[in-house]
Amino acid sequence: MFSEQQERPGHEAMHTGATASAARPLRAMVLGASGFIGHHVVQALLADGAQVLGVRRPHGAAGTAPAPATLANADHDRLRWRFLPLHTVLEPAAWQAQLEEVDVVINCVGILRQRSGESYEQVHHAMPRALATACAAAGVRLIHTSALGLHEGAKSRFLSSKLRGEQAIQASGADHCIVRPSLIDGLGGFGASWLRMLAGWPVHFVPRGATGRIAALQASDLGQAYAVLARMPTLSGQREANLGGERLFAYREYLQLLRGVEHTEQPVAPALQVQLPDWMSRTGAHLCDLFRFSPFSYGHWILLQRDNMPLPNALPPLLGRAPLPVTHRRVALRDDFRLS
């Protein structure tokens, strides 16, 4: 799977922390490596000198995948790809062979909406549960991507399945960390691209009930935080990592920021903001789910009504600095959506 020229230590040496890490590069498996979060995680791991096995759903020619254009040629030699229909790998035994010669698994897999044969239950709960059980047996560390704002009784299968996934990992006995980022900004993100498009409109239609505060963060900072976690010889001291920027926004304020009203060189006039009644926002979310239109969903409507803040915020300690602020980006809309 990784370089055959490197001597493979015994199983115990692979997972004894700093000694093994100093002897050879970290070997990380990233599930969902071609997605928005996964791409930034892969970049950060490669920049840190790790060997990366990127796992993604089968697409196009089997066994091949384009390396991110932003990676240096030297990094390509430390990046390999594997194709797996992850929503079907639901038993621990099926993960055992996948975990050979792996120090840490980073799960960045998630779906906004269900597809034929691919359910929330499979992707957010059953697959992570099987993976965590296999990681516990193999002594492989597991970093799992979840979300802030999950709570019991949420009337959203998207949110409830993610919560069950967290609970299964916590009960598995695996050396794990559950990462819960707030809203993520960056080029290449489907939701981030939509928000920048909406922010550019002269009129913003804002749900009246969207009063929850968000701590938006940069995707590049998120990737670096994962790389720091992956280097930890054990995750026992960091079972949870709630991550976000240092500035809090209401949704309406965040749209104005993305629009550029605070741009230091060429600020633009604020958009007119029209508040929508809650029944209209809720109906719109259901329609978006039904017609698979835009990243707005019923689950997101629920989250917008609650504070989506990391308490405490683990991002500054992990980075060793203040997070980068989210700012207005001057980028052509066509290029923005092409990257996502």
Question: Of 159, 179, 98, whose CA–CA distance to 133 is shortest?
Answer: 98
Question: Is 4 domain-assigned?
Answer: no
Burial of residue 48, with CB atoms counted within 10 A of its CB: 0-12 exposed, 13-18 middle, 19 or more buried: middle
Question: Is 127 domain-assigned?
Answer: yes
Question: Is 254 domain-assigned?
Answer: yes
Count: domains in the chain: 1
Query: Can you give the pTM of this predicted structure?
Result: 0.87
The pLDDT of residue 114 is above 70: yes
Angstrom distance (rounded) from CA 296 to CA 118: 19
Q: What percent of the chain has pLDDT over 70?
A: 85
pLDDT of residue 30: 98
Question: Is 217 domain-assigned?
Answer: yes
Question: Is 1 domain-assigned?
Answer: no
Rounded mean pLDDT of the chain? 87
pLDDT digits (tens, 9 = 90+) for 273-284: 999 999 999 999
Residue 118 has a CB neighbour count (10 Å cut-off) of 15
The pLDDT of residue 112 is above 60: yes
Average pLDDT over residues 70-77: 54
Query: In angstroms, what CA-CA distances link 316 with 58, 152, 225, 310, 324?
Result: 36, 28, 9, 11, 10
Residue 324 has a CB neighbour count (10 Å cut-off) of 16
pLDDT digits (tens, 9 = 90+) for 132-171: 999 999 999 999 999 998 888 888 999 999 999 999 999 9
Q: What percent of the chain has pLDDT over 90?
A: 70
Question: Is 102 domain-assigned?
Answer: yes
pLDDT of residue 8: 32
The amino acid at residue 202 is: P
The pLDDT of residue 233 is above 50: yes
Question: Is 109 domain-assigned?
Answer: yes
pLDDT digits (tens, 9 = 90+) for 249-261: 999 999 999 999 9
Per-residue pLDDT band for 116 (boundaries 50, 70, 90) equals: confident
Determine the structural domain holding residue 93 and report its residue range: 11-339
Is the alpha carbon torsion for 87, 93, 98, 101 positive or negative? positive
CATH (domain of 72): 3.40.50.720
Question: Is 249 domain-assigned?
Answer: yes
pLDDT of residue 266: 84
The pLDDT of residue 263 is above 90: no
pLDDT digits (tens, 9 = 90+) for 266-323: 889 999 999 999 999 999 999 999 998 888 999 999 999 999 899 999 999 999 999 9
